[in-house]
Amino acid sequence: MKLKSLLLFDIKQSYGIFAVILGFMVMYLSVIINMYDPNGLEELIALAKFKMSSDMMDAFGFNIEKNASLISLITSYFYGMLIYFILIIYVIIVGNRMIVEHVNKGTMGYLLSTPHTRTKIASFQAVFFIVGIFLLLFILMIVGIIVSEISFPGLLDIKAFILLNLGMFLLFGMFSGISFLASCSFNETKNALAIGAGLPLLFIMINILSNVDPSLNFLKNFTIVSLLDTDAIISGGSFLLYFVIMFVSSFTLYFAGIKIFAKRDLSL
Amino acid sequence: MIEIHNLTKDFGRSKGVFDVSFNIKEGEVFGFLGPNGAGKTTTIRHLMGFLNAGAGSCSINGLDCRKNSAEIMKTVGYLPGEPALFDSMTGLQFFNFIAKMRQKTDMSLCQQLIDRFELDAVTKIRKMSKGMKQKVAIVTAFMNNPDILILDEPTSGLDPLMQVEFDKMISEQKKLGKTILMSSHNFEEVEKNCDIIGIIRQGKMVCVEDIHSLLSKKKKNYTLVFASKSEAAKFISDKKFEIGTIAFPSVEVRQIDDFNALIRELQTFNIIEIQSETYTLENLFMQYYGGTN
């Protein structure tokens, strides 16, 4: 591979954050799966209510029936919100490193003084970024399935769980697409972060607010998080159109980032 | 080989480059002079394909610098004005990284350069001094034996010994027929190494000329030391030459284009000494920059 040394640099730079994020996600998911009780979730709900107000529980997406299934528990307690805050850290940090940090520091000057086009370098970084996110979710999914099968054999709706992870990957395709587009568009890290971190976090915050109170429910229309309809995925409803929209949006964001980077003036 | 035609890039507030043109032929060494902020680095950034020309064009080997930069980089060695190295690497790791990116993995020349510049290449770049980093940048620019060298202030931060070593290397490269563009603030270095100089001021080229003819055709100044004050006074009262500073019995004559005429005139005088003011590039430079900036 022509850019093998860049790949090795990227890996060396980001394996630490990758391991930490993966560790947090695996730990939380395992704990939450083991909180499940096939005989009813009264104890868990009571404990949660004891710890936090019902508003907070709604905000965090911890709204669950007493006789909910394992997949409902996982969706509500982990894929409802916690995962956003963990995985977005990876997106923000690594997205920033992909392009704008090299431009801001000036090291991009050295990358571009080698016989590789800007399009090639940006595309390579884009693939590295998205593959990293894919691997995080893929490993998380495998661990989730294994932990469930060990603790509660046969109780996890594996098909729904896989679709849930695929949906999460597509949603983070958009988040990372925004981050990557920002990374490609600015000369300075702080400007890229304002958009690349600010916008995804804003979407996540809007999603939380929209859950707090029925009167704020209209806010759902202003966040891309709504495109991931977890209820539809669990209950076998229609989600395919949303998946297609998320895929096309992600692709467009990355593509636009690469195009902009290939065309613009660089402060090197 | 390197051609710049009417290159214009306006950054506003009269910053940028305006209508810059010059050519560098194969095997020529071009010295790019100008005060800080005059547009040297901006011109070089266009050659490297980092910037889109506002108007005009620049090409290397007939290829457009912006559109075909990847192709051009196969034959170019680049030394940035402020080298931004991968500071988490050691010098050696960085050389290997760049060599692999260039797909030229013969490191024998690299090792020679490391030895030549006495570089401690196993230190992390982050921990290196400015001069050490500059050496890393120099090795990086030269290590793949490129045909064209684009060097932005290559000797800044180097100690005098290493500057001498660098000058030697440039003259070797010149003999090998390399095409070199180097910007510099060091007149001696440019005078020693370059065939052609271009002077840029406030984004505009004020002079692109062969350095030797430029220096030789310039009018010169001499200081004459007369045997007595009266001789000197007589010489002055003849008013045949432009007189500069007078410090009896020394008299400065200026703007002499016909030295023989001066000699003939002086035959009738009793002269103790003639001092010629050597005309350096520095004088020339100051002449172009004298007055308002």
Query: CA angle B50-B53-B55, nearest 5°?
Result: 175
Is B51 close to A117, i.e. CB distance below 8 A? no
Look at the block and give the residue holding tokens 């159109």. A241
Q: What is the pLDDT of residue A1?
A: 72
Q: What is the pLDDT of residue B34?
A: 87
Q: What is the pLDDT of residue B286?
A: 72
Q: What is the pLDDT of residues B90-147, one digit of tens each?
A: 999 999 999 999 988 889 999 999 999 999 999 999 999 999 999 999 999 999 999 9
Nearest by CB to A116, from B48, B70, B85: name it. Answer: B70
Q: Does A116 touch chain B (CB under 8 A)?
A: yes
Q: What is the pLDDT of residues A53-87, one digit of tens each?
A: 777 777 666 767 777 889 999 998 899 888 999 99
Q: What is the pLDDT of residues A103-146, one digit of tens each?
A: 999 999 999 999 999 999 999 999 999 999 999 999 999 999 99
Look at the block and give the residue holding tokens 């050696």. B92
Residues of A whose CB is below 8 A from B84 = 105-107, 109-110, 268
Q: What is the pLDDT of residue B293?
A: 41
* Residues 164-203 (B) with a CB less than 8 A from some CB of A: none
Residues of A whose CB is below 8 A from B46 = none
Nearest by CB to A109, from B80, B97, B101: name it. Answer: B80
Instruction: Flag whether the pTM goes above 0.95.
Output: no
Going B117 to B120 to B124 to B129, the CA torsion angle's sign is negative
CA distance A252 to chain B (A): 23
Q: What is the pLDDT of residue A48?
A: 75
Rounded CA-CA distance A9/A117 in Å is: 18
Q: Average pLDDT, whole number, for chain A?
A: 91
Percent of chain A residues topping a pLDDT of 70? 98
- Judge whether B181 and B151 are in contact, CB under 8 Å: yes
CA distance A116 to chain B (A): 5
Helix (H) or strand (E) holding B16: strand B15-24
Residues of B whose CB is below 8 A from A120 = 70
Is A107 close to B86, i.e. CB distance below 8 A? yes
Residues of B whose CB is below 8 A from A3 = 101
Rounded CA-CA distance A151/A55 in Å is: 31
Q: Does A7 touch chain B (CB under 8 A)?
A: no
Closest residue, chain B, to A117 (C-alpha): B70
Q: What is the pLDDT of residue B279?
A: 64
Q: What is the pLDDT of residue A138?
A: 98
- What SS3 state is found at B39? coil
Q: Does A119 touch chain B (CB under 8 A)?
A: no
Q: Is the pLDDT of residue A232 over 90?
A: no
Nearest by CB to A2, from B51, B85, B103: name it. Answer: B103
Cα-Cα end-to-end distance for chain B: 32
How far is CA A242 from each of CA A23, A164, B73, rounded to the nearest angstrom? 29, 13, 44
Closest residue, chain A, to B69 (C-alpha): A117
Q: What is the pLDDT of residue B255?
A: 73
CA-closest candidate to residue A166, choices A239, A226, A237, A111: A239
Nearest by CB to B78, from A13, A106, A113: name it. Answer: A113
Q: What is the pLDDT of residue B291?
A: 47
Nearest by CB to A106, from B48, B73, B82: name it. Answer: B82
Nearest by CB to A4, from B70, B98, B100: name it. Answer: B100
Least confident segment among A121-135, A212-226, A254-268, B5-19: A212-226
Per-residue pLDDT band for A14 (boundaries 50, 70, 90) equals very high
Is A113 close to B76, i.e. CB distance below 8 A? yes
Q: Does A174 touch chain B (CB under 8 A)?
A: no
Q: What is the pLDDT of residue B289?
A: 66
Rounded CA-CA distance B5/A31 in Å is: 67
Q: Does A120 touch chain B (CB under 8 A)?
A: yes
Is A5 close to B97, i.e. CB distance below 8 A? yes
Calculate mean pLDDT across residues A228-256. Answer: 92
Is A107 close to B48, i.e. CB distance below 8 A? no
Q: Does B85 touch chain A (CB under 8 A)?
A: yes
Residues of B whose CB is below 8 A from A112 = 48-50, 69, 73
Rounded CA-CA distance A148/A145 in Å is: 5
CA distance A267 to chain B (A): 7
Closest residue, chain B, to A103 (C-alpha): B84
CA distance A213 to chain B (A): 49
Q: Does B70 touch chain A (CB under 8 A)?
A: yes
Residues of A whose CB is below 8 A from B48 = 109, 112-113, 268
Q: What is the pLDDT of residue A47?
A: 75
Cβ atoms within 10 Å, residue B202: 17
DSSP output for B215-227: HHTS-EEEEEEES
Q: Does A256 touch chain B (CB under 8 A)?
A: no
Residues of B whose CB is below 8 A from A115 = 70-71, 73-74, 102-103
Is B80 close to A107, i.e. CB distance below 8 A? no
Q: What is the pLDDT of residue B27?
A: 92
pLDDT under 50: residue ranges of chain B: 291-293
